Amino acid sequence: MEEKEEFEKAVERKEKELIDYLTELVRIPTFVPPGQNYEKIVDWLIPVFENFGFECEKVEMPEDVYEARQKSAELSGKRMNLLATKDFGAEESVDIYTHLDVVPAGEGWSTLPFEPVVKEGRIYGRGVADSKGSVASLLTALSVMRELNLESKYNLRIALTTDEEIGPYSGLCFFADAGLLQGDYLLCMDGDNEGICVATDGVLNWEMKVYGKSCHSSVPFLGVNAIEQAMRVIEELDVLKRKVGNRQSKSPCSSYMTETTGQKHITSVFNVTMINGGVKENVIPPSCTLRGDRRYIPEEAVEEVIKEFEDFLQQVKTKHGIDLELICKPGYPPMFSNPSSEWVRRVQDAASDVFGHKDITGVQGGLDVAYAVLQTKQPVCAFGVGNWIESNAHGADENVRIRDLKDYVRFLVGLLT
Ligand SMILES: [Zn+2]
């Protein structure tokens, strides 16, 4: 009982330290694109981890790998990542991962996005929830452990990587391919605290060019209007959208999702999200480009997803005599980790001790960790800081409750010691 009290006191005493860590992390603007300040944040973290007895390695994605798999015109700066390791002489080891990059600030903030502000029990700033809050909590957990002389029962490898928010080949993907993930287990701190996430949908982005024939708009019957053709395609795609949306995984979704939509499992998704076409008001448009994404449940294979889409479009082409071209760009694959594995159970127990019962869930968003575990075959689950709906991750006034950050410190110490 005394131990428990001491632990509680220590966590409370560290509140300022926790807020200071998070403030410093948010002040380094690692938004991507362009992702210019990755080396700065890694350089800031290294002495902090060294102070806790970790060995640190700066890992830059090699130029040839970057060129081939990740580089784009909107990115600039070194693709730097951090690997911090500490051998506790334990039998088992855990890799702990999250990302250091954030999405750009965007508009509509009531405070400065890169100058965190504490208000009514919450801290506001870009990345406080996704996902710098979990990094600050991890540092605080290490600080609590040192103060109370609590040894980790796992050897630790901390992978704090970059370019997750932009992909398709993030720092973590490179870590997986380079053999830098070696733990018996992997904890992904990128996520929310609603449930223990063991499944995600895979992501396939697509682009479609619909062709017409341009001519003077006063005699439209002499040409083919590509925008009207694209409209027919969009109408037909609604059939595919409904068919795909009814496809359920055996993995459950979060209870929040069930409450708001009635849906009990994660499903596949099909969206048209962008349209672009036309030259001038008086020109019948020669082409129209449609773009969107298809998210697929772990039970689907990306090859089948592409084939289903292509076959569907073939029918549309024949039915309406439409000329079109499809390009598919696969993103992060789906993730499915055994929900009854020993590791998932340990994470669930540690989380339930702090937060009350936590369900095993899946999400329809994609994670780069899915790519990593496809290579490493590590048992994995994702459990992060806060409620993402309230936190408005990726939106204006991103925030996280200080109580949630402290609870995450409690969770980490409970899991590791
Ligand atoms: Zn994230």
Q: What is the model's pLDDT at position 47?
A: 98
Domain boundary residue among 277, 304, 330? 330
Structural domain including 7 reads 2-200+334-416
- Do 206 and 109 share a domain, yes or no? no
In terms of domains, do 265 and 401 share one? no
Return the pLDDT at 156: 98
Omega of the bond prior to 131 within 30 degrees of 0, cis?
Answer: yes
Residue 98 Cα to ligand 1 midpoint, Å, equals 7
Ligand 1 centre distance from Cα of residue 218 (Å)? 51
One domain for residues 30 and 162 = yes
Q: Which residues of 80-113 are buried (b: 16+ CB within 10 A; e: fewer)?
A: bbbbbbbeeebeebbbbbbbbbbbebeeebeeeb
Q: From the CA of 188, how far away is ligand 1's center (Å)?
A: 10
216 plus 88 within the same structural domain: no
Q: 16-30, 250-264, 303-317, 349-363: which range is least confident on average? A: 250-264
pLDDT tens digits for range 164-211: 999 899 999 999 999 999 999 999 999 999 899 999 999 999 999 999
The predicted pLDDT at position 1 comes to: 60
Co-location of 63 and 29 in the same domain: yes
Mean per-residue pLDDT for 71-96? 97
pLDDT in tens, 384-399: 998 878 899 999 999 9
Domain endpoint, select from 303, 330, 357: 330
Is residue 71 domain-shared with residue 153, that is, in the same domain?
A: yes
Give distance in angstroms: CA of 208 to centre of ligand 1: 28
Average pLDDT of the segment spanning 241-259 = 93
**C-beta separation of 126 from 113 below 8 A:** yes
Point out the domain boundary residue: 330, 348, 379: 330
- Is 11 in the same domain as 160? yes
Per the structure, the count of domains in the chain is: 2
What is the pLDDT of the chain when averaged over all its residues?
96
**Cα 165 to ligand 1 centre (Å):** 7
In this structure, the answer to whether residues 68 and 208 fall within a common structural domain is no
Domain with residue 136: its CATH number is: 3.40.630.10
Is 292 a residue whose pLDDT tops 90? Answer: yes
As a whole-number percent, the residues of the chain with pLDDT over 70 amount to: 100
- Are 207 and 118 contained in the same domain? no
What number of H helices and E strands is found in the chain? 13, 18
Three-state SS annotation for 213-224: ECCECCCHHHCE
Q: Are residues 312 and 381 in the same domain?
A: no
Residues whose Cβ atom is located within 5 A of ion ligand 1: 130-131, 190
- Ligand 1 center–CA 121 separation, angstroms: 22
CATH number of the structural domain spanning residue 228: 3.30.70.360
H helix or E strand, kind and range, residue 257: helix 255-261
36 and 176 share one domain: yes
CB 294 within 8 A of CB 309: yes
CA of 131 to the centre of ligand 1 (A): 5
Mean pLDDT of 86-95: 97
What's the confidence (pLDDT) of residue 388?
76
